[in-house]
Structure 1
Amino acid sequence: MTRHLTEITVVGEDDTGLIAEVTSLLFERSINIEDLDQAVREGVFRMTMHVDTDDMVCTQAKLREDLKELGEELGVDVQVRFPADRETQSIAVLVTKESHCLEAIFEAWASGDLGADVEVVIGNHSDLQPLAEAYDVPFHDIGDEKGTPDEDELLDVLAEYDTDLVVLARYMRILSPDVVFRYENRIINVHPSLLPSFPGASAYMQAIEEGVRIAGVTAHYVTTDLDQGPIITQRAFNVPDDATEEELQQIGQPLEAEALLEAIDLHLNDNVAVHRGRTELRDVDESEVQLGAPGELDDINPDRPIDGLGDFVAEQESEPEAEADD
């Protein structure tokens, strides 16, 4: 529904009348609101609208200017993305110290398989700056000596590069609502577990401590609830007996990169949409993607018995009733 609509995002300190002020401006310019969603978290207000601007009585430049001026009056940030703005997409990758996901993204980009440009790498440590420089991509270190990121600087960098998609390639920091709200459904993270199991830190160790036989990884959209955003892709693997955390990392990291790349591809090609907190595929053959376990698993898994349809029940139902004894 949203592919041919204009997206307007309003983010700022919560206050009364914000929705009315913005919607009134749109009404005056003959802009029809097709979808509106708003939320407040930790005092931060976010409103995302998808609107039809085909019959508006002003130019795109004028609408941007008017919304910017209104935002300044209300003390909020207003961003407008017309359909044409989303044709050429740019990616910002956020990292900490683990290189495997960033390396996979760069390899896909260099081979022409990514479908977008990696415009910038942003880290809360400088460890991966040499890898970014090897691909001639600007690197911004926004962390202090403890790795605490400066989110104002982060937002400035994302705005400078006009970022369409933010990819968390093992970025080991929680993003605040101020960042998440501005890029809602445009931030993809990869987590080393089969969410919703084992959210948070040390997911592989959590799997070991709980004694699971199957572990995995998940690529998902980021929300203000930690590791609870809409799931896009997952991969699973068997947990060896007496496995260490390092051994699970060696098994899981290639799958993390694979799941993340597929999620990025689905997003960039507009093949995945979020509806009521869940993702839905559109305009793609499900046989062409691997959202979860390999398809071969379906052939291995047994298909019977099923409650109420077992052979014994079926036989009993097919036998004629015995004649009652005299």
Structure 2
Amino acid sequence: MTTDLTEITVIGDDDTGLIAQVTSLLFERGINIEDLDQAVREGLFRMTMSVDTTDMVCTESTLRRDLHDLGDDLGVDVQVRFPTERETQRIAVLVTKESHCLEALFEAWANDELGAEIGVVIGNHDDLEPLAEQYGVPFHDVGDDGGQPDEDELLDLLAEYDADLVVLARYMRILSPNVVFRYEDRIINIHPSLLPAFPGAKAYRQAKEEGVRIAGVTAHYVTTDLDQGPIITQRAFDVPDDATVDELRRRGQPLEAEALLEAVKLHLNDAVAAHRGRTSLRDGADSGDYQLGLSQAAADANPDRPLDGIGQAVAEGESAEESADD
């Protein structure tokens, strides 16, 4: 979704006529729908729209009130985000116990590299509360004694801190559709493998057991399908013959932090777009400003020949020259 369009999200129990009633309200107010996407998962309906409110025949506050009233009538939750409300972007970071990704985000924020504010850190354990306090950022623990999060409390906090982007900085819990649907295309996760290889838990152990020579990490948008969201950035590293799982983790963690930070910057700069399960750089974004995959040095080290047909074409050309000489 581009920053000059208003974003509308509808979440609730699936029922007939939801799309028609919402779109009819928009049409009556002179609002043009630029993009619409809807899905149902586990009986929960989600619709996201990008709409042009430039020529609408009502005020922003009236539109928000009318949509909320319609949502109450239909038994669904309707959220509206106007472009002016997204000028100062706020990040909510979700964590468990590992600190390296959160630390990288804090350092970039402290150095004014993000162009956004880290508004809150939310954990399902309290281990990283001291790190958040060090940077003066509120910390909330929404987990029980076993680390199971209270997602209602999580959603309340995301709303309270007006989160524009949710970053899973090694948050070791699966978000339900109730959360994912509300922040569609606004949740970024870091996973310790070169997805789609080795999704799910214990990815470094999976890589070790499968005997891969190259392992890596992936930053991606979160969808309701585990570790299958659109890939934003990836990093890779060699796996020595005698490497333990702990060694893979030590090699991977700095790359996790780097890839996640790069993905966050791409999103905040509106430089990346997700469409039909893939991401691409938006028009105007300079690919030289970002490292989406391999470093340039690694890419340059890869051979560029032979390729199918080239050797044959050369041989045929030489044969033709010899015939002409005869």
- TM-score interval, smaller chain: over 0.9
Q: Tell me which amino acid in the other structure corresponds to 1:140.
A: H
**Offset at 1:288?**
1.8
Q: Distance in 2 between matches of 1:121 and 1:297?
A: 35
Q: Distance in 2 between matches of 1:113 and 1:81?
A: 25
Mapping 1:54-133, distance limit 5 Å = 54-133=54-133
Mapping 1:189-204, distance limit 5 Å = 189-204=189-204
Give 1:292's aligned residue.
Answer: 293
Q: Distance in 1 between matches of 2:235 and 2:143?
A: 31
Mapping 1:197-276, distance limit 5 Å = 197-276=197-276
TM-score norm. by structure 1 comes to 0.96
Q: Tell me which amino acid in the other structure corresponds to 2:292.
A: L
Could you say what secondary structure the match of 2:54 adopts? Answer: coil
Could you say what secondary structure the match of 1:33 adopts? Answer: strand
Q: Distance in 2 between matches of 1:209 and 1:292?
A: 24
Give 2:310's aligned residue.
Answer: 309
Q: Distance in 1 between matches of 2:274 and 2:141?
A: 31
Structure 2's unaligned 5+ residue stretches are none
Moved more, 77-86 or 296-305: 296-305
- Deviation by residue 1:120-148 (Cα, 9 ceiling, x = unmatched): 00001111111111111111111111111
Q: Distance in 1 between matches of 2:209 and 2:299?
A: 29
Q: Tell me which amino acid in the other structure corresponds to 1:31.
A: I
8 A Cα contact 2:2 2:270, kept in partner = no
Could you say what secondary structure the match of 1:320 adopts? Answer: helix
8 A Cα contact 2:3 2:86, kept in partner = no
**Offset at 1:313?**
4.8
Q: Distance in 2 between matches of 1:216 and 1:321?
A: 49
- Deviation by residue 1:8-43 (Cα, 9 ceiling, x = unmatched): 000111111110110111111111111111000011
**Offset at 1:111?**
1.3
Give 1:44's aligned residue.
Answer: 44
Q: Distance in 2 between matches of 1:148 and 1:110?
A: 31
Structure 1's unaligned 5+ residue stretches are none
Q: Distance in 2 between matches of 1:275 and 1:51?
A: 17
Runs of 4+ in 1 over 4 A off after TM superposition: none
Give 1:178's aligned residue.
Answer: 178
CA 1:322–1:299 in structure 2 vs 1: closer, same or farther (change >3 Å)?
closer
1:13 corresponds to 2:39: no
8 A Cα contact 2:125 2:147, kept in partner = yes
Q: Distance in 1 between matches of 2:73 and 2:316?
A: 76
TM-score norm. by structure 2 comes to 0.96
Q: How many residues align?
A: 322
8 A Cα contact 2:190 2:218, kept in partner = yes
Q: Tell me which amino acid in the other structure corresponds to 1:222.
A: V
- Deviation by residue 1:205-256 (Cα, 9 ceiling, x = unmatched): 1110010000000000000000000000000000111211111111110100
8 A Cα contact 2:218 2:256, kept in partner = yes
**Offset at 1:322?**
9.1
Q: Tell me which amino acid in the other structure corresponds to 2:93.
A: V
CA 1:56–1:249 in structure 2 vs 1: closer, same or farther (change >3 Å)?
same
Q: Distance in 2 between matches of 1:104 and 1:322?
A: 63
Q: Tell me which amino acid in the other structure corresponds to 1:133.
A: E
Q: Distance in 1 between matches of 2:165 and 2:177?
A: 16
CA 1:304–1:71 in structure 2 vs 1: closer, same or farther (change >3 Å)?
same
Give 2:278's aligned residue.
Answer: 278
**Offset at 1:112?**
1.1
Q: Distance in 2 between matches of 1:321 and 1:91?
A: 66
1:161 corresponds to 2:174: no
- How large is the RMSD of aligned CA atoms in angstroms? 1.3
